[in-house]
A and B are shown apart, each in its own frame.
Chain A
Amino acid sequence: AQKVTQAQTEISVVEKEDVTLDCVYETRDTTYYLFWYKQPPSGELVFLIRRNSFDEQNEISGRYSWNFQKSTSSFNFTITASQVVDSAVYFCALRGGTYKYIFGTGTRLKVLA
């Protein structure tokens, strides 16, 4: 069975703080793909990043960075120097050997000015 766990339901930080959103996944597939999506208050999910199981290289995009560790089945997302515009619900998702995407329950991030 495939599963994605986002244990943090809600996180509040003060602007300019760094924050890490955790994602732990379960799959028996050897080839799989991991994703992060952002859902701002407007409601539309926005694709942020995709990682393939055979590429454990971490990635940085501006203030965003992702840490993929197969040994711990984790794909964590860090926002550096958070801003109010980062306030949103963030979803981690997994796609294994089928076409189905398994989404976590999301982490609501509140960045306070």
Chain B
Amino acid sequence: GAGVSQSPSNKVTEKGKDVELRCDPISGHTALYWYRQSLGQGLEFLIYFQGNSAPDKSGLPSDRFSAERTGGSVSTLTIQRTQQEDSAVYLCASSSRGGTGGYEQYFGPGTRLTVT
């Protein structure tokens, strides 16, 4: 079946511009995560959505970052007034359930964001 998809795959933007990154999770997966991975680094948690519950935004690095998930499916991560330090690969993952179950995450291919 179809995996997690993300678009665009690459995005180059000028400092100060806004960008929108899209994630389409696996159908039926209620939990959705956004991570950021800087070059050669591990994964930094950004935000978590579970069904219709309020998202956990505790990982968002600043108020320039926001995310929404419409209809419990597609999610959009928005970065306003981009800065060079925002350059990274943004990864989206989904899993079949959230809560306290230990369900594996399935990752999308990521969006590589470059801020010039």
Contact with B along A79-108 (1 / 0, CB 8 A): 000000000000100010111110111100
Contact yes or no, A43 B102, CB < 8 A: no
The docked-state distance in angstroms from the alpha carbon of A44 to that of B91 is: 9
A-B pairs with beta carbons under 8 A, tally:
51
* Interfacial chain B residues near A44, Cβ < 8 Å: 107-110
B62 on the A face (CB < 8 A): no
Which A9-60 residues have C-beta < 8 A from chain B? Answer: 31-33, 35, 37, 42-47, 50, 52
Using a CB–CB distance below 8 Å, which chain A residues touch chain B?
31-33, 35, 37, 42-47, 50, 52, 91, 95, 97-101, 103-106
With contacts A99-B50, A103-B42 taken as known, whether A45 is within 8 angstroms of B91 at the C-beta atoms is yes
SS of B interface (majority): loop
Contact yes or no, B89 A50, CB < 8 A: no
Contact yes or no, A103 B43, CB < 8 A: yes
Contact yes or no, B89 A43, CB < 8 A: yes
